[in-house]
Each structure stands twice: as structure tokens, then as C-alpha cells.
Amino acid sequence: MGVWRSLNKSELVAALLLIGVGVFVLMHAWDWPYLTADGPGPGFFPLWIGICIIALAALLVVLQVVHTINQGAVSATNWAGAGRVLGGWSGLMLCIALLQPAGFVVSFLLLVMILVMAVFRRTFLSALIVGVSASAGFWVLFVKLLRVQLPAGPWGF
């Protein structure tokens, strides 16, 4: 029981997931020709890549268990930090989802506001200032001056 508690769970989960990835890669590679008349086929490389990933990840799992038995407990999770990361990432994904319907400028403004207010805990005013200047600045620099295409919403930008 003590061993289980002191296992670095995130490391273990990652290694197990990687074994899963390796299996996934391998399974699909199995469907393709391994060798053709001319030389290695499309299945050759992916097959070996899958095998290597599985082998290395499995090795990691073993080492994790051995290592933890020798080392002991692992530090506690930083929930506040993880929350910030989740908040930041969700904001980013929301922005990406809104790129097509609302255009870059508006979506990015939203992202900045979320980041500054929710993640960095600054005032609404700071968020607004940073957000508006950043999105407007990017728009002027990239769309107007450099003629780079950015997604535009129904309001033209």
C-alpha cells in the first residue's frame, strides 16, 4: 500500500499512455505492407516506431516502480497552479473555437481578458487595456501592414 501511494502517478500514467500510443501506432502499421517487391513498404517504419515506443515506455514503467520503492514519497500537487493552467488552456481553446465565427480580433480580445482577469487576477480595466491594444496592434501590424490573412468575423476584422 505504501508503495502505491508513493508512486509518482503522473509519471506512471504517462508511461502507460505512451504504451497505448505505441500499440495504436503498431496496430495501424500492421495493416500496411511491411515489405514490397522494391523495398520496405509503408508499414515498415511505423511498425518499428511502435515497437520501440512500447518497449521504452514499458521500461519506464518498470523503472518507475523500482525507483519509487527506493526513493519514497512524492510532493503534493499544486492545485492552484493546475487550475491556472486549465484556465489558460481553456481560454485558448475557446478563442480558437471563436476564430471562424467572430474573427481573430474579437476572439483574441476575449482570450486576453480571460487570461488577465481569471488567470492573472488583474482588474477589468487592465484586462481591457491590454486586450484592446494587443488585438488592435496585431491587426494593424499583420493584416494592414503585412497583408497577412487572419480570420475575419462578420464585422470585417
CB-wise, 69 or 126, nearer to another protein?
Answer: 126
Residue 131 C-alpha from the chain's centroid: 24
Locate 149 and state its grid cell.
490573412
Instruction: State the nearest-atom distance from the C-beta of 116 to another protein, in Å.
Output: 5
Instruction: State the nearest-atom distance from the C-beta of 76 to another protein, in Å.
Output: 13
CB-wise, 7 or 46, nearer to another protein?
Answer: 46
Rounded CA separation 62/142 (Å): 50
Using CB under 8 A, list all residues that contact another protein: 10-11, 14, 18, 21, 25, 28, 32-33, 36, 38-42, 44-46, 49-50, 52-53, 56-57, 59-60, 63, 78, 81-82, 84-85, 87-89, 92-93, 95-96, 99-100, 104, 108, 111-112, 115-116, 119-122, 126, 130-131, 134-135, 138, 142, 146, 148-151
- Please state, as a whole number, how many other Cβ atoms lie within 10 Å of the Cβ of residue 74: 14
Residue 40 C-alpha from the chain's centroid: 33
Nearest-5° angle of CA 64, CA 70, CA 72?
A: 85
Instruction: State the nearest-atom distance from the C-beta of 96 to another protein, in Å.
Output: 5
Locate 4 and state its grid cell.
502505491
